[in-house]
Amino acid sequence: MTKTNSSTPRILLTTLLAALPATSSAEPAAANAGTSAAASTRAIWRPGPGLTWQWQLQGALDTSFDVDVYDVDLFDVSAGQIDALRANGHKVICYFSAGSYEEGRPDAAALEQTGLGNPLDGWPGERWLDVRSPAVRDVMLARLDLAVTKHCDAVEPDNVDAYDEDNDSGLDISKDDQLDFNRFLASAAHARDLSVGLKNALALVPELVGEFDWALNEQCVQYGECEELAPFVEAGKAVFHTEYDDDPDVGEIDPDEVCQSVPAGFSSIIKHLELDAYLIACR
C-alpha cells in the first residue's frame, strides 16, 4: 500500500464533514455519491495511453520533471503547489487512501469509531476500513471535496480491495460490497468533475473498467499480471504503472529489462518504495 503518513495535521475538515449527508451502502452507489457545492463545471480529464508521469508522495515536492502528469499526496501538497504544476502544463492526480485508516491524517478522528479492521501488513499505524460504513463514505466525500478545493484534476483512491482474502481485512467484506464502494467513489468523483483511477484491484478490472477513467498499478511486471490491465488500454485509457528497484522481496532489477517487458500503451516508471522524487522513466 503506497501512501505518505503525515504526522502533523495541516487541513481541518471538521466543518466540511459536518455538512455532508449520511450515506448508506444499501443505496445504489450513484445515488449516494453526492454532489459537492464546490464542484467545478470543467470537463473531466480522461487520459489516454502513453502519457509520461511522476509519482511522489514523500519529501519536498520536486517540480522539475518534464512529464505530463504529477501524482501527489492530497493532504501534504498545497493548493498553491498544485496550481503551479497546472500552470506549467501538468495534470495533477491527488492521492488518498479510501480503504484504510492512517494515523496522523487531519481527518483521522472521524474514522476511529467506524469499526476498524486489521492492520495493513507492512504499514504501521494503518488499518482497514469498513467500506460499508456511512461514516467512512462521508469522510471520502469530504476528501473528494478537498480535491476540488485544491484544484486536483484527478484522484487516486488507494486500498480499494479489502474484500481480497489475501489482505486479511478482518471485516468480512464481500466482492459485491467492494464493487459498490468503488462505484460510489467513481460516481462521487465524477459528480465533482474529477477524473478517477482504479488502483491495483486487478480482479475487479472487468467489472470496473467502464466506470474508471484510468488505472494505476504497482509491480505487474514483477508478478506477471500486466495482461489483466489490457481492458484499460483497449478502451483507450491510461495505465500508470510502476516497478520498484528497492523492494527487498524482489531484489535488484535491471531497468532496461523491466522497461522492455512493459506492454505497449503503459506509462511505466521505476521508483523507490517510499515514493520520493527518485524516477526512472521507461520511454
As a whole number of angstroms, the distance between CA 99 and CA 251 comes to: 29
pLDDT at 12: 36
Cα-Cα-Cα-Cα dihedral sign, residues 1, 156, 212, 264:
negative
Q: pTM for the complete prediction?
A: 0.88
Domain boundaries, the chain: 46-99+139-163+195-281
User: In angstroms, rounded to a whole number, what is the distance separating the alpha carbons of residues 17 and 139?
Assistant: 6
pLDDT < 70: residue spans in the chain: 1-41
Residue 81 host element (H or E): helix 79-87
118-141 pLDDT per residue, tens: 999 989 999 999 999 999 999 999
Under a CB-based contact definition with an 8 Å cutoff, are residues 109 and 84 in contact?
no
Architecture of domain 46-99+139-163+195-281: Alpha-Beta Barrel (3.20)
Per-residue pLDDT at 35:
62
Closest CA to 132 of 155, 114, 105: 114
* Predicted local distance difference test score (pLDDT) of residue 252: 84
Residue with cell 516497478: 243
Give Cβ neighbours of residue 168 (< 8 Å, ≥ 6 apart): 118, 121
Beta sheet of 195-199, edge-to-edge order:
53-56, 69-73, 91-97, 154-158, 195-199, 214-218, 239-244, 266-271, 280-281
Annotate 96-159 with DSSP letters as a single string. Answer: EESSEEETT-TTGGGGTTS---PBPTT-TTEEE--TT-HHHHHHHHHHHHHHHHTT-SEEEEE-
Given a contact cutoff of 8 angstroms between Cβ atoms, the answer to whether 183 and 208 are in contact is yes
Report the distance separating Cα 70 and Cα 90, nearest Å.
7
Report yes or no: 99 and 131 within 8 Å, Cβ to Cβ. yes
Q: How far, in Å, CA of 75 to CA of 192, rounded?
A: 18
Tell me which amino acid residue 166 is.
D
- What's the pLDDT at 251? 81
Q: Is 251 left (phi over 0), alpha (psi -120 to 50) or beta?
A: left
Separation CA 100–CA 120 (nearest Å): 8
